[in-house]
Structure 1
Amino acid sequence: MEVKFDGKRALVTGAGKGIGRDLAKALVKCSAEVFALSRTQEDLDSLVQEYPGIHPVQCDLADPEATKAAVESVGPIDLLVNNAGIIIQESFLDVTLDTFDKVMNVNVRSVMQVSQIVAKGMVERGTGGSIVNVSSLASKSAVKDTTSYCASKGALDMMSKVMALELGPHKIRVNTVNPTIVMTDMGIKVWSDPAKSGPMLARIPLGKFVEVDDVVHAILFLLSDKAAMVNGINLPIEGGFLTS
């Protein structure tokens, strides 16, 4: 199945590393004009060295004013992927208000803010569009020591459904992808110990963790006209974990 985005302008947040970085490159290969947003300038510099056609946008999404300026500066967007997110591990009894606010601000509030700016432009132009929010299986299955993260992804899933409900009449589709452990550089580092990964793998019928391309391909599908009647879903990417 070939996916093409000729003439489309795409914005990817959290594009400096991992899923966002590979997605930005995949979108270029699919003929989209890509704007890559990241907090880290060095990551953007190296991305542009690989793919000179990508437009870098440096911004810390925890800063609402900077976020507004950055997103408005890129102009009209047809395809939006809210991929940026943070996780801070603390046991429930040790979660601080500061930690909770930091995680919610990036994982939920910034998604709302970025999406509002982009969607208003889509509505004004009357051209429709597609938004994919990168959530997590942690919205559906509790993970120890990740109260703030799990709460943020649960909130993101429901916010995405409301977005789909309200933006659908404007021909704007909104969906989420919900992967389990993804083998990014960080994922490989954290889950390389068989003693830790073994029990988790035992709960996945396919017997393996998610690769970055598994998530990228799902996002490309949801962004594309191939998914023209897919709206308001949370797509688990987890090898059958939820069946156990």
Structure 2
Amino acid sequence: MQLNFSSLQALVTGAGKGIGRDTVKALHALGAKVIAVSRTNTDLVSLSKECPGIETVCVDLGDWEATERALGNVGPVDLLVNNAAVAIKQPFLEVTKEALDRTLSVNLRSVFQVSQIVARGLIQRGVPGSIVNVSSMVAHVSFPNLAVYSSTKGAMTTLTKVMAAELGPYKIRVNSVNPTVVPTAMSQRVLTDPEFTRKLKERHPLQKFAEVEDVVNSIIFLLSDRSASISGSGILVDAGYLAS
């Protein structure tokens, strides 16, 4: 895919690590002006060294007021990647209020808030835009001890469709990517049982998990005009898991 984002500005949440970090690097390499958002300043400092010229914003997206202060007057944004997320591993019967509140605020509420900020700016400027929500295959299948995380991703699937329907008349496309397990720090905290991990991988028809690059490529495609007629959809980057 020969792509060029040189005239566009992109905002990526959860940009400090994993999928978000590599998405920033890909967009930067393709010429976009990137605003990288993370709650961990050391990650942003190191990312700035890898991608000179990016703008960084250090904020906890689970804090509505702090997010409004940090991003409420953000400059013109054409492309948005809602990637920030937390995954707290708890059996359903042991889910705590703290885990529920934290996960909902970061994984779902921040998507509403940041997307509203970006979409209002696009509408005010009268220009098209593209929003990609990073979801998960667990929006569609059950996974042990991830009741809260899975619930937020299931909600994100419906939210993506509603956003696409309501923002479509303004030429704003909204889609999601739904990966299987990806080798990131977050997934390593969840997959603590080697035997379970082995059996899970074997259940994938391709006998593997997804690589970060696979997810990033799907995000870049959905952000680009190569997907100009795609909105309200989700790309499964799941090594065939949902086909089995």
Q: Within 5 Å, which residues of 2 pair with 1:220-235? A: 220-235=220-235
- From the superposition, tell whether residues 86 and 111 of structure 1 become closer, same or farther in structure 2 (CA, over 3 Å): same
The list of structure 1 runs, each at least 4 consecutive aligned residues, that deviate by more than 6 angstroms after superposition, is none
Paired with 1:62 and 1:186, the residues of 2 have a C-alpha distance of: 17
Say whether residues 1:84 and 2:89 are aligned partners: no
In structure 2, the residue matched to 1:100 is 100
With normalisation by structure 2, the TM-score equals 0.96
Paired with 2:192 and 2:210, the residues of 1 have a C-alpha distance of: 14
Q: Within 5 Å, which residues of 2 pair with 1:119-198? A: 119-187=119-187, 191=191, 194-198=194-198
Give the letter for the 1:201 counterpart: K
**Unmatched 5+ stretches in structure 2:** none
Q: Percent identity?
A: 52
Paired with 2:158 and 2:186, the residues of 1 have a C-alpha distance of: 27
Paired with 1:53 and 1:98, the residues of 2 have a C-alpha distance of: 37
Query: Aligned residues, how many?
Result: 244
- From the superposition, tell whether residues 62 and 136 of structure 1 become closer, same or farther in structure 2 (CA, over 3 Å): same
Paired with 1:118 and 1:229, the residues of 2 have a C-alpha distance of: 20
User: What does the per-residue CA deviation read over 1:132-167, in whole Å, with 9 as the maximum and x for residues that have no partner?
Assistant: 000001110111111110111111110111000000
- Conserved? CA contact 2:173–2:232, under 8 Å: yes
In structure 1, the residue matched to 2:19 is 19
Paired with 1:50 and 1:225, the residues of 2 have a C-alpha distance of: 26
- From the superposition, tell whether residues 67 and 14 of structure 1 become closer, same or farther in structure 2 (CA, over 3 Å): same
**Unmatched 5+ stretches in structure 1:** none
Residue 72 of structure 1 deviates from its aligned partner by 2.5
- From the superposition, tell whether residues 209 and 104 of structure 1 become closer, same or farther in structure 2 (CA, over 3 Å): same
User: What does the per-residue CA deviation read over 1:92-116, in whole Å, with 9 as the maximum and x for residues that have no partner?
Assistant: 1111222111111111111000000
SS in 1 for 2:22: helix
